[in-house]
Amino acid sequence: MKDNGESGALRLPFWRAALGRLLCLALTILLAAFLAAALVRVAPGFGVDERRLDTRLSESSIRALDAENAGNANLVRYFGRYLSGLCRGELGQSVSFGQPVRELIADRLGLTVRSAAAGVAWAWSGAAVVTLALGILRRRAWELAATVLSGGLLCLPSAVMALLALYLRVGPGLAIGAILLPRILRYLHNITGAMTRRPHVLAARARGIEGLRLVTRHVCLPASAEVLALAAVSVNMALGAAIPVEALCDSPGVGQLVWKAALARDLPVVVNVTVLIAAITASANLISDAIRGAMRREA
């Protein structure tokens, strides 16, 4: 009976932490949706409907457009209607595209996921190879060259990367990877660099352990929790980079959709895509935190 009580006491904090994370996830998504609606509402030109310029519209159609815009002008009322529709699975109708938002996102989401996944894979592969090479070679000249390369890539805006990808015809995935590479490389190098100064690494070197064995077993494995957190952050960076890249590369994904919707002040599309990105980002961070917590308990 004592063992059951102890195991129940151990399980209780776990469930409390899980419920707390889920509550934080829900609040993050709601806050992202509310802020997106607020920002679009205060943007210049909000409430000006270009459809009213169509001379073919009747007076009743114009009154219907005015009533629709008046309903969107009240932020609290709009957000309440949006949450009510979201609970029923209704995402609204796009003003600029004239289609249901759910169909627009469903048609474009797969392409954006593939582009972002390819970019993350390219960036992590390059960063891992460079980090392993720097850890094995341990040459000042190589570290200086990697620093100059990452610094130069960081200085290039995402729009420039997208235009280069369009000119070279390499696709948006490689452009996203080039945007993420210097950021991931810098953080990964800092994590492994701090780990190499730990006492267990110095002790391993004193015993004659060098090269790939030292880097993989005594540096990379102990730093796996921090690397996992960086992997979750890279998902957020990839989604953010996909918006200008897909817009400039003319890739018909969610990034291009939200770019056009923002220019047209299409509130239903902007709010729903913001909720989608916030849900993916927060879910990635939640999964990363859960795995890191499990790894620390086992350690």
| Residue 233 · residue 287 · CB < 8 Å | no
**CA distances from residue 98 to 60, 126, 179, 191 in whole angstroms, order as listed:** 19, 42, 33, 48
Query: What are φ and ψ of residue 197, in 5° steps?
Result: -95, 5
Task: Report the C-alpha gap between 198 and 218 in whole angstroms.
Answer: 10
The reply to whether the predicted model has a pTM over 0.75 is: no
- The reported pLDDT for the residue numbered 114 is 92
| Widest CA span in the chain | 87
With beta carbons less than 8 A apart as the criterion, state whether 123 and 272 touch: no
CA atoms within a 13 Å half-sphere pointing along the CA-CB vector of 258: 24
Domains of the chain, start order: 108-298 (1.10.3720.10)
**How far is Cα of residue 224 from the mean position of the Cα atoms in its chain?**
20
3-state secondary structure of 93: strand
Given this model, what pLDDT does residue 62 score?
61
Segment 3-50, tens digit of pLDDT: 455 444 445 465 676 677 778 777 877 787 777 777 766 665 555 555
Give the model's pLDDT for residue 9. 44
User: Any idea how long the chain is?
Assistant: 299
- Dihedral sign computed on CA atoms, order 132, 137, 143, 146: negative
Q: What is the residue-level pLDDT of the chain in tens, covering all 299 positions?
A: 444 554 444 454 656 766 777 787 778 777 877 777 777 666 655 555 555 555 566 666 666 665 666 555 666 777 777 777 777 777 888 877 888 888 999 899 999 999 999 999 999 998 888 888 877 777 777 777 777 877 778 888 888 888 888 888 888 999 999 899 888 888 888 887 777 777 777 777 777 777 667 767 767 777 777 787 788 888 888 988 888 899 888 888 998 998 888 887 787 888 888 888 888 888 877 777 777 666 666 65
